[in-house]
Every structure is written in structure tokens, then in C-alpha cells.
Amino acid sequence: MVLKVFFPSCCSSAESGILIGRWIPEQNSAVILAVVHFPFIPVQVKHYLSEVQRVTKVSVSVLGSWSNSKQEKEESLSEFLEDLGTIFSHEPWIQISKEGDSKFWSCSTLQKHSNNPKMEEVILVYYDQRKVMLSHLHPPLDAATSTDHRAEDASKLSAIFDTVAKSKTLFMTDRYDDGPIKLTHWQSDGVEASILVELMKQASVPACMLLTFLLSLVSGVCRSRVLKFWPLSFLWSKLSTCEQLGHRLRHLQVISSNKKAQTQTQLMRKANIFVSLLIDVALGVLLMSWLYRKNRIGHLADTLIPVADHVAEELQDLLQWLMGAPAGLKMNRALDQVLGRFFLYHIHLWISYIHLMSPFIEMILWYVGLSACLGLTVALCILSDIIALLTFHIYCFYVYGARLYCLKIYGLSSLWRLFRGKKWNVLRQRVDSCSYDLDQLFIGTLLFTILLFLLPTTALYYLVFTLLRLLVVIVQGLIHLLVDLIDSLPLYSIILRLCRSYRLAAGVKFRVLEQQDGKPLRLLMQINPLSYGSVVRTYRLPTYSCYPKDSWTSLCKKLFLGELIYPWKHKGEKQD
Amino acid sequence: MEERRYRSASGAPIALRRRQHSASCRELAVRCPRLQLHSLSASTSAAWLAAYGLFVLTENSMVLSAAIFITLIGLIIYLHFVKIDQESLLVIGSLGIQVTSSYASGKESTTFIEMNQVKDVVINEAIHMQKVIYYLCILLQDPGDPQGVSEVVPLFQSSKPRLDCLIEVYKSCQEILEQRKTAPQSS
């Protein structure tokens, strides 16, 4: 079988020594992690390797020898290196030698216990140690779901990535340490660290504790019995602002927990939540500064009442139009007048309430606008709630119209069955034939005709108010879509993919380097980053809203029958 | 390294280049027909003539600058995301198969499939519009079922070489894939 040697490109110019790394027998490949230089005492090397093995759980061992000679190949050195093979017994013993500045190295193996002395082919794969150590390999989504054959068929490449990632302690010793072992790896010129990162790590512990304490206070207040009485709890469940605030509170709790993230997904989730909150609050503060400059909020409050008045006037005109002969249709005069007057009185009440509240509107809006500093999503939710409150009369009209229409439709269908001599059997849930008395038939037919001729009027009112309600629902839906987008977008992952694309790996790619006959095949292994679509799909933050489960046909059916539609349900709400 | 000319399924001239890097490593690259100058100038002139016609109608010079902008953006998007210059296949026995597409703007999109996931490389027939065309594809192993195929990865989708070119590529791939069957399996 072909022997694959994964060699770190940082060790290409290292002095002669022995190679340490991990041997993966199933794939016949050797992952070289570092080069140990002369002079060394073999016993100390073995002791050091067993220490590393204990800490990292990676079976690190001496794999072979590396000779980097500036002059011609020395015979004594090659014999010395072969003798080393007997001290550190490893099967097969790999010997790599580089002459001068030549790019083409020779690589041979010594097999002591093999029966066939055939020279096997060697493939030399160079890899960037630091990038492979930091990167996280993402399996394709369908492979991630089937976990039965995980252990055997685990991606062969993930074994290599794991080996390098888990050997972090090996890379902690640099050449300025005074130990008995002198190593060369990617960090042997000095351990990398950043002062800012260390300072932030030190500062984060007390900050997290403070945040946890504050959050526990706030959630204690929210959960107190005072706020659970019936009118208030109903109000909280209907306002989307409270949902959003609760969602963000949960996010804050996730960030401020003291437990360190165990897996990569947890770490990315925490980072995504943190960046999302930061951007949200920054945009909210920007919005707030824009609103409060030049007293724009005062202007907004001043225009709110005239807008509400205008909407009410338009509705009144609409009702007058319906009470006349709308679109040339002939309505039943009496029913028309009754319904029209009822709705007009309703609007009159609504306008009076708005005018009652008008002196306080500016102050309420001013204080409510301050809550935009909690985030842009909160501001958008408040906007959606204000729209819902201002169009409450449209919602009421829709409910009245729908209930009236629904009653009419049920009455009509039941009396139609009577007209044909049938009845709905509730026990058997089917239509059965039934013999009615003459007076039952007479009254039933009379009622049927009355309802039938009153149908166009009710249907028209129902149609008009349903369309208005759907318009308001669409506007609110768009706002919620925007809020969801801001909530669920994994900004940290996207920025990471932009700036440090090697951290999120979809796979690897190989590039064939210059070849020379007789020398092993040289390949360069580079990291193939994840595409932006997969990044968003993998690291999306879960949100609390679920989109309507009704298909278009069931929605149309509900509209036709006059059943009330609730397009946006939140997760956790009881389903009707 | 050798290069031979063939024809694609639609009749355009393509070139197949074969390189043998070592006994178990081969690279096969198919170069697609390049962007033709006459089609580029025809589409640009058509777009600008339409914009000039609109300008004459509306007397708004924004139409002209918008047309220039749209043509430039469209050309950049076409070169970077649509026009494929070369599709290549790198077969490394015992490591895997790498499929690369290089776009006209220089962008390269690569997929590497490990050798233990590859079941076989075959030539399939497909009915495409009014033609029956042949295409080369990699069959991926189903981890649960040793006889099953979990996915079919079609190759050379943009250059669509004809059967004679595909047979050459198929033979080259099979020579390397057979090596893994004859090699002694390590437990």
C-alpha cells in the first residue's frame, strides 16, 4: 500500500533530528507533528512522549529520522540514523533526507518484519500546521445525521485534523525553554499570545458574575406572582415586545453562564449571540440618537393623532359607501343600515378614546422610545405593537364581520340540508336522511330564503374587513420577518469566514507541486473553506416564532367559511 | 503531458490534457470553449441600443448611465459565477479524487472526495432536452449498505465532452482505481 507522510511546512528548514508524530495504521499514514533535535537522550525522549500521550490522549511516538545536510550526504550520518531505528522501534521506520536547498527530498522506509521487500510508493503531503490546528472540519450535513457508522467510516481527514488539534501541549514548548528536549514545530520560535485577549479573559470572569447576578434579579421580578394575574398575563402574551425581551434575556443568560463552552458548536453559538446582541444594541442606540435629535419624537407624537383620525375618517367614508350602493351592487337596505350604523358608532367610540389619550401620547412615546436602546429588534417589536394597537378597531370589525358571516354560512348549510330532507348526524359525523314535519319544513324554507337573500350584504362587509385585516397582518408580518432576520443571523461566523476562512473548513484541497522522477510525489494540502450558505445554515440561531403551518388551500377554506385566522403563532402558545 | 482536441456535446471544440504525476496520481483537465468576442460585442451593443432607444423616449440621461452600470455588473457576475474556463479531475490513488472548476475570472471551486467514499467512476446516459448525452460521474458509497450508492456526482457538467473523450478519462481513472483493489488491505 502507498505510504502517506503528512509533513508540516514549518519544519522544512529544521536541523537534523528525529520525527515525532502519530502513526495511523488503518490508513497507512504518518502525521508528523515536530522534529526533535540532537543531542538528546533516548530515555528522556520516551519519557516526554509518554507524558504528552497521557495529557493529550493522542498516541504520539517516534516515527523516523530527518536529515537536513548542507553538504553531500554523509555515510556515517545515515548509518547513525539507521541505528536510531533500532533504539526507537517503530514499524515502519521513515527516513526523510534533504540535501542542500533542494526541493526534492528522498524518503525511504525500513521494514524489519515484512516479508516482501518491495519498495512501496511514498506520497509526501505538506500541511500548514497552525491552520490545521485552528480549523474545524464540518462534515456534510447528510453525513452528520447518520451516526451509526460514525466510528468506522469517520472521515479519514478528520483523524489528521484531530491529531493536530489535540496536540496543543506539544506546541507549547519553544526553543527558548531549558528542557532536555529541543523541538521544532510552528510555535518553536516563541509562543504566540495576545495581551488584549488575555486581559479580556481575566476581566470576563467578574463581568460574567455581575451579569448573572443582575439577570437573576430581573428574571426573579418577571416571574413574581404579581405579574401573573389574568389581565396582565394575557397582555404580556399578546405583546410581541415581551416575547422579544424574553428571548434576549435568555440569550444574555447563555452568554453570562460560567461554564466554558465544551464543543465548537457551543462556542460559536455563544460568540454569535454576543455579536448579534452587540450589533443590535449599537443599531438601537443609533436609532435612538437619530430619533431624539431635533425632537423628531415630538414630531412623531404630533402626527400620530392626525394619522389615527385620518384612518378613522377613511373608514367612515368606506362604511358610507357600503351603506349606499357599493360598486353598483344592490344591498338589503335595512340590514345595511343596521350594520353600517353599528360600525360607525364603534368608530366614533374609538375616536373619542384616542382624543382622550392625546395629551399623554407625547410623554408615553418619549419614554417608550427610550427602550430602543435595548436593541433595534425591541424597537421594531414596539413599532409592530403600536400598529396593532392603533388598528385594534379594524381587528374588532374583522371579528364581528367574520362571526356574523360564519353564523350565516352554518345556518345556510344546515337549512339547505333541511330543504333537501337531510340532517347532520353528530354521532356518526355524516349526513343522514330525515323526515321533517310540514311546519318544520315551512319555517325552515322561510328562514333559508331570508338568510340567502341577506347573504350578499354580510358577505360584502366580511370581504371588506377581511381585506383590511390581511393588510395589517402583512405589514406586521414583514416587521417580524426583519426582527427574525436580525435575531437569527450568525454574524460572528460570517465575519470569521470572511477574515479567517481557514477556521471553518468544509474539506481540503490538494495541489500537486513540482515532481522529479525517483522522488516521492509532493502534494500541498490546503484548507477548503465552507461556503457562505453552509455557514448560515449550520450556525443559524434558533428563534421563537414559527411560520404559519396552514397551507394556502386550508387558509382559503377558512376564509370561505368565515373561521378566524391567526397567521402568526409563537412557539409555546397553545394551539387551537 | 499530452493534449488532444475533442468536441463537446453541442459541437464546440474542447481540449483534454492528461498529466501523469506519479504511478498513482493523474490529472485530467478539460478546457472549455472560451468566451467569444462576437457574442460579447453583440450582447453589449444590443443592451446599449435598447438603452439609447429608451433615452430617446424618456429624455432622461440616467437611463444611459444605468445601462452602462448594468452591463458592467452583468459582465463581472457572468465571468465570476457562470463562465467556466476549465474543469479538471485529480485522481490520487489511496487519497481521493479532487474535482476543480476554474471560472473565467480566476476563481476556483474545489471538491475533494476521499477514496473510501468512492464506489466507482462510470459513464451514464442522460436524456437532455431532445438529445441523449453521455456524462461521467462518481458513485459514492452508502455507509450503511455496502452495495448501495448514496450519491451520484456528475463531472464535466459545463464542458459536456462527447463519448470518445469520456472513454479516455474513464480508462485513466479506472487504472488508478484498480490499484486500490489489488493493493493488500490492511486491517
CATH code of A60's domain? 3.40.140
Chain B residues touching residue A2 (CB < 8 angstroms)? 24, 93-94, 183
Q: Determine what percent of chain A is predicted with pLDDT higher than 90.
A: 17
Assess whether pLDDT exceeds 80 at residue A567.
Answer: no
- Give me the torsion for CA of A383, A389, A392, A394, rounded to 10°: -30
- Chain A nearest C-alpha distance from B55 (Å): 36
Task: Tally Cβ neighbours within 10 Å of residue A460.
Answer: 19
Q: Are residues A121 and B143, on separate chains, in Cβ contact within 8 Å?
A: no
Beta bridge partners of B5: B15
Report field, pTM of the whole predicted structure over 0.80: yes
Same domain, A336 and A482: yes
Nearest to A488 by CA among A278, A272, A287, A281: A272
In a domain, A404, yes or no: yes
Residue A79 lies in a domain: yes
The interface pTM score, or ipTM, of the predicted complex is 0.86
Domain span including residue A435: 294-488+546-561
Of A173-177, B145-149, B170-174, which one has max mean pLDDT? Answer: B170-174
Inspect the interface and report whether the beta carbons of B92 and A153 lie closer than 8 Å: no
Query: Mean per-residue pLDDT for A102-125?
Result: 76
- All residues of chain B having their beta carbon less than 8 Å from the beta carbon of residue A4 are 94-95
Is the same domain home to A179 and A315?
no
A300 located within any domain: yes
Say which range, A139-153, A166-180, A227-241, A532-546, has the weakest mean pLDDT: A139-153
- Nearest Cα of chain B lies from the Cα of A532 at a distance, in angstroms, of 13
pLDDT for A576: 39
CA distances from A231 to A234, A246, A393, A572, B135 (A): 5, 19, 20, 19, 68
Q: Which of A28, A149, A509 sits opposite B144 (nearest CB)?
A: A149
- Given A165, A184, A203, the domain boundary residue is A184
Write out pLDDT tens, residues B132-149.
999 999 999 888 888 888
The residue with greater pLDDT, A518 or A462, is: A462
Which stretch of A70-84, A147-161, A314-328 has the lowest confidence by average pLDDT? A147-161
Those residues with Cβ within 8 angstroms of residue A370's Cβ, 6 or more apart along the chain or in another chain = A288
**What cell does A276 get?**
448579534
> Which residue of chain A comes nearest to B184, CA vs CA?
A1
What are the pLDDT digits (tens) for A318-355?
A: 888 888 877 777 888 888 888 888 888 988 988 898 88
Cell triple for A477: 408580518
Using CB atoms within 10 A of its CB, is residue A421 exposed (0-12), middle (13-18) or buried (19+)?
Answer: exposed
Nearest-CA neighbor of A528 among B100, B81, B57?
Answer: B100
Please determine, for residue A107, whether its predicted confidence score (pLDDT) is greater than 60.
Answer: yes
Instruction: Tell me if A476 is assigned to some domain.
Output: yes
pLDDT of A80 strictly over 90: no
Q: Is residue A193 part of a domain?
A: no
Looking at residue A532, what is its pLDDT? Answer: 92
Query: Of A169, A184, A199, which residue constitutes the final position of a domain?
Result: A184
Q: Roughly how many angstroms between the first and final C-alpha of chain B, as a whole number?
A: 37
Residues facing residue A125 across a β-bridge = A6, A523
B113 CA: distance to closest CA in chain A (Å) = 9
Give the minimum alpha-carbon distance from A133 to chain B in angstroms, rounded to a whole number: 20
Element (H, E) at B67: helix B62-77
The set of cell numbers assigned to A416 is 339547505
- Whole-angstrom Cα distance, residue A543 to residue A545? 6
The size of the A-B interface in CB pairs under 8 A is 66
**CB contacts, 8 Å: B25 with chain A:** 123, 512, 521
**Mean pLDDT taken over chain A:** 83
Residue A81: name the closest of A99, A98, A94, A100 by CA.
Answer: A94
Whether residue A512 and residue B27 make contact (CB cut-off 8 A), yes or no, is yes
Distance (Å) of CA B36 to CA A213, B45, B101, B107, B159: 68, 14, 19, 20, 15
**Which among B18, B19, B22, B151 is the top mutation candidate for probing chain A, defined by the most A β-carbons within 10 Å of its own β-carbon?**
B22
**What DSSP state is assigned to residue A501?**
G
Contact state of B143 with A143 under an 8 Å Cβ cutoff: yes
Domains contained in chain A, number: 2
Contact A508 B112 (CB under 8 A): yes
The residue out of A154, A184, A214 marking a domain boundary is A184
Selected residue with higher pLDDT from A247 and A572: A247
- Is A406 inside a domain boundary? yes
Chain B nearest CA to A114, separation (Å): 13
Residues in CB range of B26: below 8 A, 6 or more apart: B18, B19, B20, B90, B91, B172, B173, B175, B176
Helix or strand run (H / E) with residue A532: helix A532-539
pLDDT tens for residues A60-69? 888 888 888 7
Q: What are the sequence ranges of the domains in chain B? A: 2-35+82-182, 39-81
Higher pLDDT, A189 or A268: A268
- The span from the CA of A32 to the CA of A170, in Å, is 12
With cell 383620525, the residue in question is A309
Report chain A residues whose CB lies below 8 A from the CB of B24.
2, 121, 123, 521
Chain B positions in Cβ-Cβ contact with residue A111 (cut-off 8 Å): none
